[in-house]
Amino acid sequence: MLRDFIRHFSLIVVPLVAVFAVLPAVYDNHLLLFNFVIFLALAQGVNIIYGFTGYLPFGYVGFFGAGAYGFAIVVMHLNAPALVAVAIAGLVAVLLGLLLTPLLRLTGAYFSIANLAAALAVLHFVANPALEAVTRGPYGVSLTGTFNPTMAYATALGILALTLAIVVFLKNSSFGLALQAVREDPVSAAMAGVPVVRMRVIAWLASALVAGLAGGAFAWYVSVFYPDNVFSSEFSIFAIVFALFGGVATIVGPIIGVLILYGVYNLIGFTTPQYFQLIYGLLIMGLVLFLPAGLVSLATRRGWHVP
């Protein structure tokens, strides 16, 4: 298993991170590259909780927004260094995940809807005018004193590497196999001695950590944002669609989904928005109808191994 972990990490994670580390030197749209890195991490975060446990988090953005505000609060009020603040952002998301663990008692659409409601509750909490002294309420956050897109981008790359390392571990460990057994049949897994609840909670918190760290890096990069920005449902929807399009419970599936769909979004979404929704809709409909397991299923149908 360790050999497989090292092989997959060296063949997938290292080249991907290296490419995005070099690209800013040859491509001047730094924000676009940063967004790619963030969505690569978020799609893998969705992969951790959905691909390996079967819980579809419609409100995944709640962890992302909590991380962004965790970063902002410790920078504004405690003058914490930005790197420390990013780590605290991840911790804030994990604490929120612990608070929301009762949601894991739900399944299917009930969990997804409850998760979405929880994200909206967090949004309205931080945007409450009564908390203006702490969160700046609905009036937005300005962190121009910490603005450093180069370091924020490098930090996002580190978060992506960590996230991919988690997924590679899940793909190549007995823990990951047990998680998938829980996803397929929790009753049988429990009868076989698998600690179902504990494993679900671990995956849930790992997924929350990824989103929180990504939210912290995002807050550092943009430095000025409003509650509606960092709690935008776009983050959840894109991350879920990207992961499903490529194929969950794999390492490369979400990567493929982000590179193709976010690439398409940036090619035609801004220049010809009248055609974008049609093309995007057709792509997703075609996926659901003909490739419900994602693009990677094209390879598995041919008997190829997909990491």
Interval 31-86: pLDDT, tens: 999 999 999 999 999 999 999 999 999 999 999 999 999 999 999 999 999 999 99
Which helix (H) or strand (E) covers residue 224, if one does? strand 224-225
Residue 291: predicted pLDDT:
79
Distance CA 154, CA 168 (A): 21
Is residue 186 very low, low, confident or very high in pLDDT (cuts 50, 70, 90)? confident
pLDDT at 26 over 70: yes
Instruction: Specify the range with the lowest mean pLDDT, choosing from 122-131, 237-246, 295-304.
Output: 295-304
pLDDT at 268 over 90: no
For residue 144, how many other CB atoms are within 10 A of its CB? 7
Q: Pick the more confident residue, 191 or 36.
A: 36
**Mean of per-residue pLDDT scores for the chain:** 92
Asked if residue 46 lies in contact with residue 57, where contact means CB atoms within 8 angstroms, the answer is: yes
Region 150-156 average pLDDT: 98
Instruction: Specify the range with the lowest mean pLDDT, choosing from 12-21, 63-72, 99-108, 290-299.
Output: 290-299
| pLDDT, tens digit, 9 for 90 and up, residues 293-305 | 888 888 777 767 7
- Check residue 192 and report its DSSP letter: T
Region 125-144 average pLDDT: 93
Exposure class string for 97-133: b at 16+ Cβ within 10 A, else e: beebeebbeeeeeebbebbbebbeebbeebbeeeeee
Residue 270: predicted pLDDT:
65
Q: State percent of the chain over pLDDT 70.
A: 98
Residue 283: predicted pLDDT:
77
Is residue 236 very low, low, confident or very high in pLDDT (cuts 50, 70, 90)? very high
Residue 92: predicted pLDDT:
98
Could you tell me how many helices (H) and strands (E) the chain has, helices first? 17, 2
Q: Quick one: tokens of 103? A: 């949601």
Which helix (H) or strand (E) covers residue 142, if one does? strand 141-142
Is residue 122 very low, low, confident or very high in pLDDT (cuts 50, 70, 90)? very high
Asked if residue 242 lies in contact with residue 43, where contact means CB atoms within 8 angstroms, the answer is: yes
pLDDT at 219 over 70: yes
The size of the chain, in residues, is: 307
Residue 144: predicted pLDDT:
84
pLDDT at 164 over 90: yes
Q: Which of 260, 247, 258, 249 is nearest to 292 (CA)?
A: 247
Region 225-230 average pLDDT: 96
pLDDT at 272 over 90: no
Distance CA 306, CA 299 (A): 7
